[in-house]
């Protein structure tokens, strides 16, 4: 039986959903009066505190998952490249049902569907931090949950926090990192990446959870989302390294640290995929960097060397990141979950070798051009 049979949609429920959406649209329209023109999909009040999530979202065609897709979804090597938005939404729905989160929290399946639609609508169309990246990270989290048998080690609440933080971690991301002044002024002052819990509240209870428990879950989600900020990478990984050799799944501090590292792994896990799947994402990431550096340069701001389009290549961008960020983090997680070595860690090592070979080729070509230029210069004299 597929999750759609469990969902048990009825005509009366669909009509109720449409009526709820109409009420939400009317409420959003009344709140939006007087809003200044802004490219983002949130309403910023003058004090920077009030965020009004967008809930006027369309429906999407139902996509029935095949058994082959269901099995592939559980693997970190799942190819996310050729899926349409409605297919990705259906996969995300399935993950929540399959992990037992819908049953555990007595979620209304239509509310889950409506919430996922709202999430998709509030991801922006930028080169990297878009809805497809959201799906990549969420699917990788789902894959790691299965690969590491986290259902046997963590509570369903923990699994819900992991999945929901993954789904929302780049919600309404501008496409710029937090060195860009606009991001520092707005995102860090009032973290927009944490718009999900407010969306849940606006949608009138994502799940039947007591207010105090909901408050704790909300804060736990925010903690994980903020852990994806690479400025905190060293701090979080060092904390996990001190715990991993004597890790205690009954220790709340240990479990929270593990969850922070897991979402970090999933967020930057592209190189776990085969080269032909991972490499286009490097292009997207570089385009993101170059867009920001071009804007910074035009505004007379300093440009970070790793974003300078005149200095950065794919190999130079990836080698250091894989060697000094990805591999050390995944190898630390491997101490707790040895089963990730073959499927996740070894591909990272292979990717490192691939880009080192490309760099050697690039260096040889550069040296050859220098020699040719010197030779030509000598002949002109």
Whole-number Cα distances in Å, 5 to 8, 97, 109: 5, 11, 11
The answer to whether the CB of 79 falls within 8 A of the CB of 217 is no
Helix (H) or strand (E) holding 43: strand 43-44
Distances 192 to 69, 78, 165, 171 between C-alpha atoms, Å: 33, 29, 13, 7
97 is in an annotated binding site: no
The reply to whether 132 sits in an annotated binding site is: yes
Inter-residue long-range contacts of 254-257, CB under 8 Å, 24+ positions, other chains counted: 255/154, 255/158, 256/220, 256/223
In this structure, the dihedral spanned by the alpha carbons of residues 85, 87, 88 and 93, taken in order and rounded to 10 degrees, is: 130
- Ligand-binding site membership of 339 (annotated): no
Q: Which residues lie below 8 Å from residue 304, measured CB to CB, with a gap of 6+?
A: 179, 293
Q: How many residues does the chain have?
A: 381
Catalytic residue among 129, 173, 193, 354: 129
Q: Is 43 annotated as a binding residue?
A: no
Task: Determine whether 129 is an active site residue.
Answer: yes
**Distance set, CA 308 to CA 288, 300, 315, 340 (Å):** 11, 14, 14, 34
d(CA 304, CA 292): 10
108 is in an annotated binding site: no
The span from the CA of 159 to the CA of 153, in Å, is: 10
Q: By C-alpha distance, which of 103, 97, 105 is closest to 70?
A: 97
Contacts of residue 283, defined as CB under 8 A and 6 or more positions apart, other chains included, come to 314
Residue 354 is assigned to a ligand binding site: no
The answer to whether 267 is a known ligand-binding residue is yes
Q: Which residues are catalytic?
A: 129
Residues in binding site? 129-133, 169-170, 267, 318
Residues in binding site for Zn(2+)? 133, 169-170, 267
Residues in binding site for AMP? 129-133, 170, 267, 318
């Amino acid at each position: 039986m597929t999750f759609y049979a469990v969902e048990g949609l009825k005509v009366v429920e669909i009509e109720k959903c449409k009526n709820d959406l109409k009420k939400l649209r009317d409420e959003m329209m009344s709140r939006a009066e007087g809003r200044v023109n802004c490219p983002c999909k949130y309403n910023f009040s003058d004090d920077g505190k009030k965020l009004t999530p967008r809930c006027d979202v369309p429906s999407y065609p139902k996509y029935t998952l095949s058994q082959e897709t269901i099995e592939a979804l559980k693997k970190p090597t799942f190819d996310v490249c050729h899926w349409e938005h409605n297919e990705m939404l259906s996969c995300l729905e399935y993950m929540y049902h399959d992990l037992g989160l819908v049953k555990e929290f007595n979620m209304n399946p239509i509310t889950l569907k409506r919430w996922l639609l709202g999430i998709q609508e509030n991801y922006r169309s930028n080169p990297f931090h878009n809805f497809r990246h959201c799906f990549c990270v969420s699917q990788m989290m789902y894959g790691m949950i299965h690969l590491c048998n986290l259902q046997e080690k963590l509570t369903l609440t923990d699994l819900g926090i992991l999945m929901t933080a993954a789904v929302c971690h780049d919600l309404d991301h501008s496409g710029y990192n937090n060195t860009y002044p606009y991001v520092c002024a707005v995102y860090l002052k009032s973290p927009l990446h944490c718009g999900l819990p407010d969306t849940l509240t606006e949608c009138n209870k994502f799940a039947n959870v007591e207010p105090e428990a909901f408050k704790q879950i909300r804060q736990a989600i925010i903690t994980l989302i903020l852990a994806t900020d690479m400025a905190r990478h060293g701090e979080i990984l060092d904390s996990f390294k001190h715990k991993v050799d004597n890790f205690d799944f009954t220790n709340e501090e240990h479990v929270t640290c593990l969850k922070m590292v897991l979402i970090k792994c999933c967020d930057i896990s592209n190189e776990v995929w085969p080269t032909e799947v991972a490499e286009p994402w490097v292009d997207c990431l570089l385009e993101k960097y170059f867009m920001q550096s071009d804007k910074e340069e035009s505004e007379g701001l300093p440009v970070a060397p790793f974003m300078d389009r005149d200095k950065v290549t794919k190999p130079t961008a990836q080698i250091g990141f894989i060697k000094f960020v990805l591999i050390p983090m995944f190898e630390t997680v491997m101490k707790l979950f040895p089963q990730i070595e073959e499927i996740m860690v070894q591909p990272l090592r292979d990717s490192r070798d691939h880009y080192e070979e490309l760099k050697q080729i690039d260096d040889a070509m550069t040296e050859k051009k220098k020699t040719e230029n010197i030779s030509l210069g000598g002949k002109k004299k």
